[in-house]
Structure 1
């Protein structure tokens, strides 16, 4: 495959027009951005069940990946939990590749051309994000301010900053890492589905006003929209915190960000109130260790392209007068928390006690670093957890029934009694995701988990956590498998089980 023109060059050309003052910083950021994306790609090559990988062989100098056609990849010893870029080149039959897109193109595997284009775009967008980040400012107060400090996106996805369909000007205008203030659009709809309480300020007479993202307004909508309130984009880009305070607004964005197209299904609006009430009541059984940002209202024009959800801001669960603050787990490395092994161990213990308690009750959370937030004391101690975005949880009717809890009436894809599916959901997001990214490396994660699991009861879920390989979404395989819906999984070496070697099933 020939990548021409490259996304790196395209972004440079656009930047020269819209922000020439950033051109030098962008060029300077490209080598480190290539290494960051290449490190994420090497994680997939080293650990995911890719059909064209015949075997993996640890060596004294790193890891050799044998391809089914006889070729060999050689790279450094893989750490699937590392967040710092540590791969500068990968050798394919002795030829060095420093650009992840060029490496994927050279592999020549099915659907690799499309993935290579995404890697190219991810590298360029990551360099743009790093080049455009504002200088030092005061320490954030609100959770949305912490979210905007997360510049590099997903800590393990090679498409960590891929935003196809967004021009350079739009990335600068809407990307949370650039800390913009955007203006929502408002669309009046006569006939729509409403669940929960839809506030008066989002009504035009008797008609609900649906907040829309400005990118959606410019590229997708065919109906007129009036100007709405200003808001701060959060990590997910499509969810925003109103500048005047109040609920967070989740909007539809019909573009592929990282892996998924970000719309809001009619079904999720239909069940939003019931699901919010259900999860809030289950979380109450944690003795105050976990709070759920309740869905206040949801609306859909019976189209996934025109819908919105209002939910509580996570800051509602912190005592500001006592100096408490709410920080997404993805932003914890910016607070200095991982510098303290004891505090990281405390976070892991709090998260596992809470997550495993809900799993025992019958709810598996998608508790990755964006959905899971932690309430910190004035001195930085983890006190409580806050969970948001309920669309990807899994519920087990059998487990719920054992505790006398009625299962909610939600989408069928959320409902399962399969132990493997339930544990994958929680362990893959919480342990291999949120806690791993807060730790930043395999050794640091092992130390945190050893502290956390020491006093946990040996339930079947805990035994699985302590003795089996850790599940994680096979992020590269999923991008290389466009015809296979749903999540695909890898099995990562468990830091609590040193005998499990990289790539071992």
Structure 2
């Protein structure tokens, strides 16, 4: 008997058959394979192909036809059934076939990655590493699905439920769940997809070697002291020493670093071990949450996840504090007055041990946590947008899930509440989302020249009782830009605005990056998800989006450069996760202008009109 978790959204029947019924004529969805590792393999192949065709500008034929992909470097041709063709790139594919029969993740990854390595004259070891990461990601995904299909009903808060929903990972990344350096046993505790939880590993540091700062007067040391000694399982650091937390995987690794070993040898840093209440990893893996804690913690984690080792860099942490001070100097008050439904979660403080030299691996950012308590209609029900869009697989008996994503359930609820079709409910959902999340971000940029990187994993929404967005948030200290044309104005608000930090950039560069993060990744990605989930026609939502952006262009001349790009540019610069992965780049290292591979992507907004 299958012990899969009951789907509480299954009772929310849509008011009319949704467009996913059109997929039925193309056979069972590979994501619903009864074998969880078969479903994980199908997901890995689909995301890899979706990224590959985007980044190689390969045309995708209509649904029901075959996509033919030739890989001359390997002498292989793949025939791929197109289950759904997306105007924004969120295609759905069936099982590929080669001349010898069905093609799994190993073959597809090998030929696609080798083609890129040969064409771009890269070292072959980079291709081997990328293939290994794809296969590791496929296996991890199968493990996630097996565990979820066997679990009972979740008791997670809405916030954690969305954070833990990304079982398949980034829809345009070839290896979204690769975590090669950690063992299966470690990942049981550290993975949000497995509903992991763990105690923090604590160190006691002599004040002489503690560094950090805070934007709002609260001492990082005192905040952390309360987290360390709270509860029966807490730990009291030796008198006069300051508690410094670490991810347990990181704690083992940093003790091998010469600079950390020297602090321990000198008695300036003492490992205290795991202590205190358990914390829950969120969708980023390294940021941890406790429903009863005043703050969240963004821990350094040197494990390679997607395109980066997630080490916190001190420059990034200082940027978070500087951004919090900048918001407090005026823009934050303006934003709250103009958009009380929108908020920015500040990384307002940080701490580390090791006063001089490079990062020690103990760098921790301290983040606002408005999502406290359990389920309810207050601010504690903010949900990660990536989690809302994350596709589910079937329960393990070959049938589809009650709803393919949390977004599907929310849209069905809105359709029932308002007595409208799923297509109309989708349009209303997008319209409300633009009001509570996109408009505040664009208006903040127009008014102050402050731009953010609001990709799906960095944005959160709260839904009202009808399933429609009612509030939004942005998080992450790494994603701040100031347009050079506005830097003088902001320096009058905060004289030390850019001292020692890479924060001010040319306007054209800022426009390009926001057009990617907000335009392509977030808004066009949301349109694509609605279509791929079978909820509505993407063209209808593209018209809704275009009309909203045109209205903003009329009322917000300060964002004209950005909005001109989104509305009129025939192509937009888009991050290429496949090519970045094959290149072996770490997106957190080096010049921000060259950390990732960018490609030109045809702009679907130019193809629609109001």
- Say whether the fold is shared (TM-score over 0.5): yes
Between 151-160 and 26-35, report the one with greater CA deviation.
26-35
1:177 Cα offset (Å): 1.5
Query: Residue 412 and residue 198 in structure 1: after superposition, are their counterparts in 2 closer, same or farther (change >3 A)?
Result: closer
Between 233-242 and 219-228, report the one with greater CA deviation.
219-228
CA contact (8 A) 1:143 1:315 kept: yes
Query: Residue 184 and residue 261 in structure 1: after superposition, are their counterparts in 2 closer, same or farther (change >3 A)?
Result: same
Corresponding residue for residue 121 of structure 1:
136
Distance (whole Å) between structure 2 residues aligned to residue 244 and residue 151 of structure 1: 25
1:58 Cα offset (Å): 5.3
SS at match of 1:37: helix
SS at match of 1:487: coil
Corresponding residue for residue 6 of structure 2:
none
Between 330-339 and 297-306, report the one with greater CA deviation.
330-339
Distance (whole Å) between structure 1 residues aligned to residue 189 and residue 436 of structure 2: 37
Structure with max Cα Rg: 2
1:180 Cα offset (Å): 2.3
Distance (whole Å) between structure 2 residues aligned to residue 428 and residue 247 of structure 1: 30
* 1:388 and 2:475 aligned: yes
1:48 Cα offset (Å): 1.2
SS at match of 1:231: strand
* 1:307 and 2:416 aligned: no
Distance (whole Å) between structure 1 residues aligned to residue 472 and residue 499 of structure 2: 24
Within 5 Å, give how 1:95-494 maps onto structure 2. Answer: 98-107=103-112, 108=114, 109=117, 110=122, 111-133=126-148, 135=151, 137=153, 140-190=156-206, 191-196=209-214, 197-200=219-222, 202-203=224-225, 204=237, 205-222=239-256, 224-229=271-276, 230-242=278-290, 244-279=292-327, 281-286=330-335, 287=338, 288-302=340-354, 303-315=359-371, 325-332=381-388, 333-335=405-407, 336-339=409-412, 340-341=425-426, 342-360=428-446, 361-401=448-488, 408-409=497-498, 412-419=501-508, 421-439=509-527, 440=529, 441=531, 444-455=537-548, 456-458=551-553, 459-468=560-569, 469-482=571-584, 486-494=595-603
Distance (whole Å) between structure 2 residues aligned to residue 324 and residue 378 of structure 1: 14
1:282 Cα offset (Å): 2.9
Greater relative contact order structure (CA < 8 Å, 6+ sep): 2
Query: Residue 69 and residue 268 in structure 1: after superposition, are their counterparts in 2 closer, same or farther (change >3 A)?
Result: closer
CA contact (8 A) 1:153 1:160 kept: yes
SS at match of 1:480: helix
SS at match of 1:255: strand
Between 69-78 and 224-233, report the one with greater CA deviation.
69-78
Distance (whole Å) between structure 2 residues aligned to residue 297 and residue 57 of structure 1: 47
Query: Residue 301 and residue 347 in structure 1: after superposition, are their counterparts in 2 closer, same or farther (change >3 A)?
Result: same
Query: Residue 201 and residue 451 in structure 1: after superposition, are their counterparts in 2 closer, same or farther (change >3 A)?
Result: closer
Q: TM-score, normalised by structure 1?
A: 0.82
Distance (whole Å) between structure 2 residues aligned to residue 324 and residue 249 of structure 1: 17
CA contact (8 A) 1:211 1:228 kept: no
SS at match of 1:153: coil
Q: Deviations over 1:404-444 (max 9, x none)?
A: 7658226654431141x323322322332233444413775
1:470 Cα offset (Å): 3.9
Distance (whole Å) between structure 1 residues aligned to residue 169 and residue 385 of structure 2: 13
Query: Residue 104 and residue 392 in structure 1: after superposition, are their counterparts in 2 closer, same or farther (change >3 A)?
Result: same
Greater share of residues in helix: 2
Q: Deviations over 1:114-170 (max 9, x none)?
A: 110000001000111111126353675352343123322223211111111111111
1:32 Cα offset (Å): 1.7
Distance (whole Å) between structure 1 residues aligned to residue 160 and residue 350 of structure 2: 21
The gaps in structure 2 that reach 5 residues or longer are: 1-31, 226-236, 257-263, 265-270, 389-404, 413-424, 554-559, 587-593
1:482 Cα offset (Å): 2.8
Between 112-121 and 170-179, report the one with greater CA deviation.
170-179
Query: Residue 479 and residue 391 in structure 1: after superposition, are their counterparts in 2 closer, same or farther (change >3 A)?
Result: same
CA contact (8 A) 2:247 2:301 kept: yes
CA contact (8 A) 2:462 2:471 kept: yes
1:195 Cα offset (Å): 0.6
Corresponding residue for residue 5 of structure 1:
none
Query: Residue 355 and residue 444 in structure 1: after superposition, are their counterparts in 2 closer, same or farther (change >3 A)?
Result: farther
1:189 Cα offset (Å): 1.8
Distance (whole Å) between structure 2 residues aligned to residue 240 and residue 135 of structure 1: 22
SS at match of 2:365: strand
The gaps in structure 1 that reach 5 residues or longer are: 1-24, 50-54, 500-505
Q: Deviations over 1:426-467 (max 9, x none)?
A: 232233223344441377554334223314233332221122
CA contact (8 A) 2:74 2:111 kept: no
Query: Residue 309 and residue 149 in structure 1: after superposition, are their counterparts in 2 closer, same or farther (change >3 A)?
Result: same
CA contact (8 A) 1:365 1:392 kept: yes
Within 5 Å, give how 1:29-40 maps onto structure 2. Answer: 29-40=36-47
Corresponding residue for residue 35 of structure 2:
28
1:271 Cα offset (Å): 3.9
1:338 Cα offset (Å): 4.4
Distance (whole Å) between structure 2 residues aligned to residue 466 and residue 76 of structure 1: 32
1:67 Cα offset (Å): 5.5
CA contact (8 A) 2:515 2:565 kept: no
CA contact (8 A) 1:132 1:178 kept: yes
Between 395-404 and 99-108, report the one with greater CA deviation.
395-404
What is the RMSD computed on CA atoms of the aligned residues?
A: 3.3
